[in-house]
Structure 1
């Protein structure tokens, strides 16, 4: 019998469940007040973007942000702001440096001077010192320029009423270029699921595209048979650091598993092959046992990475405390789960799946909907945001 999982009651600025000194940094929330303070004090902004499920975010808190010289230097020379990636996807989209944790140095106007992902303690100190010196020098000269260009996150969408075969053929060609014919999936490494692409492939399979059918079979089989898939508890880890799906990053996300549940159910509809049904049932098993809050009926957001726990043999893992769960309830991710469970009811003919979907939907309508403003992004500790 597995020891009951723990639920991580995440605080405003706490990301690692283990003891650390990152809280000694005087973190501010993202907002006008912090940037106003930076302008008045003529200080740079240190923006930290983290996630509760992210292993290297935990390490950075425990080492880099617990290193006393860094704590003192940040508090003296910067206005430190801390942002949760999942709760602030807009900020993450604009400022992320290619992964988590992200550390970005901003001017009081929000312009990027420099940034990086994980940095060890002394590397971080050197990075901060160099950026601070650069800012002081160029501020005096009146010639401050960005060391890295601002990332343009705005996209222009061309509206059209028709999606013709030519457009689909061009998409097919682009997918074919990036398809990994040896191990399935797209690109080399690190390798993510690219669920939207998988969904498109299934759509094309229903249109009798034989080459698309081979791609989706190769990919879904490789994922299900790889270490990216948790045979013991069901569900999928977030991504693989290797091309062959053999070394995963061990966090598990509601978003990923809800999307993949829908994909494997569609593939079972398409092929009637039991292996896809079994994978889908395994995902449901994982979500029910680990992410579903039986009291509220909604789904929690994620489960933290724990390489040691997942490296254990099955019989040893059963007696260990499972990685912590982030108890934040994200509206969009829950909507994905509701959609997937509704499909599970339709495909697998199990009324229990529909009941779970209905309870989660009822929770969102009751707690995350406002007639004037629409849907809130997330719900935590009886508060909407």
Structure 2
């Protein structure tokens, strides 16, 4: 009788727990409750677009025993990785979902990514039965790891010598790691990595034509992730041949990969790469842009889920079909892939750049107007004396938001000629120097954080690549203003890039050895030359329209004006060409000549 009663009570407990589900709390509330009750925290870090987050929600977190164990022994905390990037950066375990066990002070005990119901039960029981001194040992071990990682980072950032031989060494490294059948690096999963593609573009342009084959294979591999039915690009492929994509479409990927393809088109002159850039950008404009708010939403999800997170249709059962079949599925389940209707200024700054590229390569002035409207909205809603905040709802200031906004401001000034964007860019640099420069490390970091992504978590910005991008933006600002502080700081960053971050460090060395070109056009009338010159190779060419009355700036740049229109082509060290009454063919010819000089003089 007693046994039957116990079974009945246990079943009743399970049924009640399942009916109630897991009572998730936000991070601050959960941490406070854990401290009060001296209970461990089980934290789930997820994103609305994430496929495996959907799977874990519909399997692990709806398992009766898992629910009962979490509700009995833990304080459950759920964090949206996109909404709270600071928490995500601190606690992420290498991807999404991240499953993290914390003590009641918020210290990490143990973490992983996806856990099946059976794996989760084992971990829940194991950590629930640990004694206080055992928990303390886990915490102290993790703190030591974190401290040692920081110390290793500090050692890596010492001043080094820049050399062409290091770039060539990186190319040898690429050839060893390269997947000659499918493009990109060997192994899986396969992401459309920008550092690899840009390294191969620059190596082909300035070092060795033989790298063209690797570049084209990589670009063609990335194209296997493009949704040719509705546009856009999926986040990654599960297998080495880029097959079985994870079907989420993130705004940042749409921006970054479309820009990559436009740059590839400028170098390789293959129309399909321009086509790919436009197909990807088309999705962002049609599905993610809110014309009323003048901002872009963050993503389209990998699956079809309802408002309770119930998985209705997996991505692989939807996106493999043509458009007509997809609409049939939507009609049947009365749902479509979820649009994550949140605005993040960092990703909006990226898509602004992609729209500028559309103006450059497509003469699409509608996209130029959208880009400027979105940029003005970001500046109006997000800019403060600490930089650009992360989102409308989160008053946090992250390095990536500042860097991407800075890149957008420079492009906006070049394309529109509006000096307010250059003024904003210089103001943002002053803010970066004041609040984000870490004197101890000699690089830039987040405003209030010592948590760096140096493990290449795919959707978090690598701290070294961000600093490379900042140094590149500083080169651009130097060419536009001749303020030596900009290039001095940029070079200091480059000299500190770690030796074993081959691709990122080599990109910095390209910047140092083969500096970008500046095309100064002196004319009192607006000219279409700006966009046409920029289209030659926008990744490595800055442009500026100057009027004859800008005497002070012309003097600072060391340029002379005449009664006729003129063009100066310079880099950070020397001016290569002076062109009288220029036409676009003449400018392009001179630019290609200078790029050939780069290749010939260092080979």
TM-score scaled to structure 1, two decimals?
0.84
Distance in 1, matches of 2:294 and 2:134, equals 59
Deviation per CA, 1:185-226, whole angstroms, max 9, x where unpaired? 1231111111122122222222142233222111111222x2
In the alignment, structure 1 residue 360 sits paired with structure 2 residue 378: no
Deviation at 1:319, TM superposition (A): 4.1
1:117 corresponding residue in structure 2: 113
Displacement of 1:55 after TM fit? 1.4
- Once the two structures are superposed, the pairs formed by residues 3-42 of structure 1 within 5 Å of their partners are 24-31=21-28, 34-42=30-38
Aligned partners of 1:231 and 1:142: how far apart in 2?
A: 51
CA-based RMSD: 2.6
Match of residue 388 from structure 2 = 375
> Which residue of the partner structure matches residue 302 of structure 1?
299
The 1:362–1:229 alpha-carbon spacing in structure 2 relative to 1, beyond 3 Å, is: same
Q: Specify whether residues 118 and 147 from structure 1 end up closer, same or farther in structure 2 by C-alpha distance, changes over 3 A only.
A: farther
Give the deviation of 1:142 after TM superposition: 8.4
Give the 3 Å change call, closer, same or farther, for CA 354–233 of structure 1 in structure 2: same
Q: Deviations over 1:244-301 (max 9, x none)?
A: 1121011111111111011000011112211111111101211111111121121111
Following superposition, the deviation at residue 63 of structure 1 comes to 2.6
Q: Is the 8 A contact 2:43 2:101 kept in 1?
A: yes
Structure 1's unaligned 5+ residue stretches are: 1-20
Q: Deviations over 1:82-111 (max 9, x none)?
A: 111223334333432333211111123433
Task: Answer yes or no: is 1:169 the counterpart of 2:168.
Answer: yes
Q: Which residue of 1 aligns with 2:402?
A: none
Moved more, 156-165 or 338-347: 156-165
Q: Is the 8 A contact 1:368 1:379 kept in 2?
A: yes
How far apart are 1:23 and its partner, in Å? Answer: 8.2
Q: Tell me the equivalent position of 1:65.
A: 61
Are 1:312 and 2:328 an aligned pair? no
Q: Which has the larger radius of gyration?
A: 2
TM-aligned CA distance change 1:99 to 1:246, over 3 Å: same
Provide the residue aligned with 1:238 in structure 2. 235
**Matched ranges for 1:91-102 at <5 A:** 91-102=87-98
Structure ranking higher in helix proportion: 2
Q: Equivalent residue for 2:246?
A: 249
Report what 1:145 is aligned to: 138
Q: Is it true that 1:222 corresponds to 2:215 in the alignment?
A: no
Cα separation, 1, equivalents of 2:106 and 2:19: 23
Summarize the Cα distance change of 1:37–1:209 in structure 2 as closer, same or farther, 3 Å threshold: same
- Where do 1:310-349 residues align within 5 Å? 310-321=319-330, 322-349=336-363
Partner of 1:17: none
Q: CA deviation at 1:174?
A: 3.0
* CA–CA distance in structure 1, aligned partners of residues 31 and 24 of structure 2: 13
- Change over 3 Å in CA distance of 1:143–1:63 after alignment to 2: closer
Structure 2 counterpart of 1:126, from 103, 122, 141:
122
CA distance in 1, matches of 2:37, 2:364: 61
* Structure 1 contact 22–65 (Cα < 8 Å) conserved: no
Distance 2:210 2:137 in 1: 53
Aligned to 2:536: none
Structure 2: how far apart are the matches of 1:176 and 1:89? Answer: 35
Partner in structure 1 of residue 40 of structure 2: 44
Q: After superposing the two structures, state which structure 1 stretch, 96-105 or 48-57, moved more.
A: 96-105
Contact 2:100 2:108 in 1 (8 A): yes
The offset of 1:149, in angstroms, is: 3.7
Task: Answer with 46-55 or 199-208: which moved more.
Answer: 199-208
Using the TM superposition, name which of 277-286 and 164-173 deviates more. Answer: 164-173
Is 1:284 matched up with 2:284?
Answer: no
Question: C-alpha offsets along residues 50-97 of structure 1, whole Å, 9 cap, x if unaligned?
Answer: 010011211222232223433332233112221112233343334323
CA distance in 2, matches of 1:220, 1:379: 35
Deviation at 1:141, TM superposition (A): 7.0
Q: Structure 2 matches for 1:141-220, cutoff 5 A? A: 144-146=137-139, 149=142, 152=146, 154=150, 155-156=153-154, 158=157, 163-220=162-219
Contact kept, 8 Å, 1:114 with 1:148, in 2: the verdict is no
Structure 2: how far apart are the matches of 1:142 and 1:65?
24
Matched position secondary structure for 1:144 = helix
Contact 2:281-2:354 at 8 Å conserved across structures: no
Provide the secondary structure at the position in 1 that maps to 2:79. Answer: strand
**Residue of structure 2 aligned with 1:83, choices 79, 82, 97:** 79
* Corresponding pairs, count: 356
State the structure with bigger RCO (CA 8 A, min sep 6), 1 or 2.
Answer: 1
